[in-house]
Amino acid sequence: MTEYLLKNPVVDLARAWRDALIQTLPVSPRGWALSAFALRAWLASILALYIAYVLQLESPYWAWLTVWIVAQPTPGMLLSKSLFLVLGTFAGGFFGIALIALFAQAPELFVLGLGLLVGACTVASNSLTNFRAYGTVLTGYTAGLIASGAANAPDQVFFIAMARVSCILVGIACSVFVVSIFAPHRSAAETRKKLLVALQDAARRAVYSWQADNEARLQIGRKLIFELIALNTLIEFAAAESANFRLQANRARTLLSHIFSLISARRSLDAHLERRGWPRHSGLEVFHGVIIDFLNEMPDELERGQIDELLTGLEDVRHQLELLQPEQDTTSSEDLVSERLVIDRLDDLLFHLHGALKNWRDILQGKPDDDPPVDINFHRDLRAAWINGLRAFLAINFTGAFWIASAWTEGSLALVFVSVLMSLFSAQPHPDRIGWTFFKAGLIACSIGLVLKYYFLPMSSGFEFLAVMLFPVLFSLGLVMGTGNPTLMGAAGGFSFVFVNIIRPFNPMVYDLADTLNIGVAVQLGILFGTLSYLLIFPPDPKAARRYVTHRIRRGLGLISLLEPVPASNTHWETRMYDRVVRLNDPQNPSANMTDEWLDAGLGALTLGNEIQRLRRWLAAGQLSPELTEAIERIINAFGRFLKEPQRAAAEVKQQIDRLSALAPAVGQPGRLLWARVQGALEEIDIYLTRNPILTKAEKTSW
């Protein structure tokens, strides 16, 4: 018997859980943080349930469930999510009433309308970021929840809507109340700490030699880009949590945009130096040592808070760079183009480093932000959004047909959970896997919920007894949810949805085993239908997804060639392209292509877009000679049709390079500086298009 117990996986799992509790929770700061989160979530859910009882709201368990829906590790995340949940709840209430008002006597049209609504909300959620997306998701399934509840009593739809909305608002209010009082407010400090680390990493990336290992350089850059993208989200949460940091949020995003541009300048410089080597110019060789020394010392000086000293030193370095004028003494036009390009890219790098340091100093000093708003832009996969929306529409209609044909009283609840699965996880890399996790966690929740409801809860009555009985389950759920692990949080989400629907604590409690089993089957069947929909309806097509990204890059190059007025900075283009490259180089993404070819081509397209915008700004300045003006106008016009005629743009660039090469000014002639800059930009564009011909091939080609 003892030998059997030692090999029993349930016993082994329980012992492992016990050991983890003993070893970590009493002594580990992480353990205490998880325990505090779990206690806050339990307290908020019990408080929400109690208030719903006092107010005699119908279906008070939705107030309890809402607490677990909005539960987040930090106050900033919860406040941000709560705001969009409130907006989504009101919108869902409106659409739920409208569905019943229009289609109460026509279930087929009701299902069709709900499918259209959830499909539209899914498209919107896939096109938005952070908790804005969740607000649109909530609109869809709140409408389904209200409408399904009123399907058999359409004359009560308004009261049902008010009760559901009130429960959700009570849950949100209790969560905000408990977290505001008991949770530590650290988001602003954590965000500042991560901004400092990002600045230090940017200096290390800037100083990394172009002669060093390319793979190591890519790893440094990839890590920094991931951190910057995550930081943009943290800034939003810190602004929601801290009024003081909210005043600095735009400045923090400006800092991120400077670091993105710094990386771009360094990449462009590295790519050129790998082809041509360091220019044989005495002034540049001396300057190279100066900038290396400065950047090597920068991380330590940042740690010591010597920001003013860094800014002064950086201004001095830029002044030294400004004194270098190879167009005054370099006779070779080819060498001049290389030297001028290196000087200009170094100046770009130092300019953005100076801007980032200035922003960091102002953030620390709390200076008022008078800069124009910075909107960091990220990739929106509209193709996937429409596919996910259509899948949600079809899945809801199939489930609705099953409900109507079977005349199942709880079929509408299955419809609601299909809506939840279709909209909630559609933007995730592997929604089918999350769905299976949701389903398995739901089975566990059914088992625990049935035992608790029909064995323990009937032993006594009173709200205090209910709160005590729920504590072990909800505290354990909070520990799992507080880890922040996506897989575990998916399981915790599935458990909470199903467990609440199994317990359904009414006032007074209703014990009807047949009804509870009916509800459990409906919920699990809805989750199962939703999960299978991801596998059977429009399964992932990685090649088509990568073709679409290629299409969007081409389209983006065309748009930035035509956009008026000319953008003052490259922030929109750079941040969107970095996000595209990171997403499609992410091993968690089923459409990813984990090859250096994809990474180099994507980052090269980023450089290409920057060069196009650089040409447009020179053209808008109105200081170019007629020959340079004509050359740039022809190239910009060709890139304006890059989506349909990419090879025409490539041919035009080559033609203008040959034409301008014959017009190279000699030493001392006017316009030599601008000629060298334009010629250098055109050569960079030509080299990119030559080395990455995939962008100029037919649309059917995939990366």
212-221, 285-294, 326-335, 520-529 — most confident range:
520-529
Asked if residue 150 lies in contact with residue 156, where contact means CB atoms within 8 angstroms, the answer is yes
C-alpha distances out from residue 272 to 45, 341, 688, Å: 59, 9, 11
What's the rounded mean pLDDT across residues 633-659?
A: 93
For residue 445, the model assigns a pLDDT of 94
CA distance 549 to 582: 12
* Predicted confidence (pLDDT) per residue in 458-478, tens digit: 998 889 999 999 999 999 999
The last residue of one of the domains, among 490, 515, 536, is 536
408 and 298 in a single domain? The answer is no
Residue 588 CB: number of other CB atoms within 10 A? Answer: 10
For residue 598, the model assigns a pLDDT of 62
Task: Determine if the peptide bond prior to 505 is cis (ω within 30°).
Answer: no
Task: Identify the CA nearest to 676 among candidates 331, 243, 250, 253.
Answer: 331
pLDDT at 1 over 50: no
- Residue 605: pLDDT band by 50, 70, 90 thresholds? confident
Q: What is the Rg, in whole angstroms, of the alpha carbon atoms belonging to the chain?
A: 30
522 and 646 in a single domain? The answer is no
607 and 570 in a single domain? The answer is yes
328 and 469 in a single domain? The answer is no
Length, in residues, of the chain: 703
CA dihedral 281, 284, 286, 288 (to 10 degrees): -140
70 and 198 in a single domain? The answer is no
- Is residue 574 included in any domain, yes or no? yes
Task: Identify the CA nearest to 642 among candidates 552, 558, 543.
Answer: 558
For residue 65, the model assigns a pLDDT of 92
Of all helices (H) and strands (E), which one includes residue 301? helix 282-303
pLDDT at 291 over 70: yes
Task: Provide the CA 297 distance to its chain's centre, in angstroms.
Answer: 33
Q: What is the 3-state secondary structure (H, E, C) of 412-453?
A: HHHHHHHHHHHHHCCCCCCHHHHHHHHHHHHHHHHHHHHHHH
Structure token digits, residue 34: 């998880």
pLDDT at 213 over 80: no
Contacts of 363 (CB under 8 A, 6+ apart): 192, 195, 248, 251, 252, 255
- Residue 19: pLDDT band by 50, 70, 90 thresholds? low
Structure token digits, residue 198: 């990002």
For residue 2, the model assigns a pLDDT of 33
- Residue 495: pLDDT band by 50, 70, 90 thresholds? very high
Task: Identify the CA nearest to 581 among candidates 180, 224, 324.
Answer: 224
C-alpha distances out from residue 129 to 12, 297, 423, Å: 41, 37, 14
- Is residue 17 included in any domain, yes or no? no
Contacts of 463 (CB under 8 A, 6+ apart): 50, 53
359 and 210 in a single domain? The answer is yes
The last residue of one of the domains, among 365, 392, 414, is 365
Task: Identify the CA nearest to 323 among candidates 287, 273, 280.
Answer: 287
For residue 3, the model assigns a pLDDT of 34
For residue 68, the model assigns a pLDDT of 92
Task: Determine if the peptide bond prior to 508 is cis (ω within 30°).
Answer: yes
CA distance 695 to 613: 18
Residue 325, domain CATH: 1.20.58.220
pLDDT at 35 over 90: no
Using DSSP, state whether 108 is helix, strand or coil: helix
Is the model more confident about 580 or about 522?
522
Task: Identify the CA nearest to 495 among candidates 541, 555, 449.
Answer: 449
* Predicted confidence (pLDDT) per residue in 77-105, tens digit: 888 889 899 999 999 999 999 999 999 88
For residue 7, the model assigns a pLDDT of 43
CA distance 138 to 178: 22
Helix-helix angle 214-241:596-621, to 10 degrees: 70
What's the rounded mean pLDDT across residues 660-673?
A: 89
- Is residue 7 included in any domain, yes or no? no
* Predicted confidence (pLDDT) per residue in 217-227, tens digit: 777 877 888 88
Burial code of 349-381, b = ≥16 C-beta within 10 A, e = fewer?
A: bbbbbbbbbbbbebbeeeeebeeeebebbbbeb
CA distance 552 to 545: 11
- Residue 311: pLDDT band by 50, 70, 90 thresholds? very high
DSSP letters spanning 252-269: HHHHHHHHHHHHHHHHHH
- Residue 530: pLDDT band by 50, 70, 90 thresholds? very high
637 and 547 in a single domain? The answer is yes
Structure token digits, residue 53: 């009882």
567 and 428 in a single domain? The answer is no
Contacts of 299 (CB under 8 A, 6+ apart): 200, 203, 204
For residue 702, the model assigns a pLDDT of 42
For residue 39, the model assigns a pLDDT of 94
Task: Identify the CA nearest to 497 among candidates 430, 416, 432.
Answer: 416
Asked if residue 682 lies in contact with residue 660, where contact means CB atoms within 8 angstroms, the answer is yes
Computed over every residue of the chain, the mean pLDDT equals 87
335 and 449 in a single domain? The answer is no
* Predicted confidence (pLDDT) per residue in 639-648, tens digit: 999 988 889 9
- Residue 657: pLDDT band by 50, 70, 90 thresholds? very high
CA distance 299 to 201: 8
Residue numbers of the domain that contains 285: 187-241+248-365
Task: Provide the CA 646 distance to its chain's centre, in angstroms.
Answer: 30
252 and 355 in a single domain? The answer is yes
Angle at 171 between CA 168 and CA 175, to 5 degrees: 140
Structure token digits, residue 546: 């990568």
Contacts of 135 (CB under 8 A, 6+ apart): 84, 85, 87, 88
- Is residue 557 included in any domain, yes or no? yes
The last residue of one of the domains, among 484, 511, 536, is 536
Residue 405 CB: number of other CB atoms within 10 A? Answer: 9
* Predicted confidence (pLDDT) per residue in 398-431, tens digit: 999 999 999 898 888 999 999 989 888 888 888 9
- Is residue 26 included in any domain, yes or no? no
Is the model more confident about 471 or about 375?
471
- Residue 362: pLDDT band by 50, 70, 90 thresholds? very high
- Is residue 134 included in any domain, yes or no? yes
- Residue 45: pLDDT band by 50, 70, 90 thresholds? very high
521 and 613 in a single domain? The answer is no
What's the rounded mean pLDDT across residues 500-507?
A: 91
Structure token digits, residue 288: 């190279």
DSSP letters spanning 209-229: -TTS-HHHHHHHHHHHHHHHH
- Residue 216: pLDDT band by 50, 70, 90 thresholds? confident
- Is residue 501 included in any domain, yes or no? yes
Contacts of 689 (CB under 8 A, 6+ apart): 608, 649, 650, 653, 695, 696
CA distance 484 to 34: 10
Q: Please tell me the total count of domains within the chain.
A: 3
* Predicted confidence (pLDDT) per residue in 334-355, tens digit: 999 999 999 999 999 999 999 9
Burial code of 57-85, b = ≥16 C-beta within 10 A, e = fewer?
A: bbbbbbbbbbbbbbbbbbbbbbbbbbbbb
Intra-chain end-to-end CA distance of the chain, in Å: 59
pLDDT at 9 over 50: no
Is the model more confident about 497 or about 222?
497
Amino acid found at 240: A
CA distance 422 to 113: 16
99 and 176 in a single domain? The answer is yes
- Is residue 471 included in any domain, yes or no? yes
Amino acid found at 27: V
- Residue 592: pLDDT band by 50, 70, 90 thresholds? low
What's the rounded mean pLDDT across residues 292-300?
A: 89
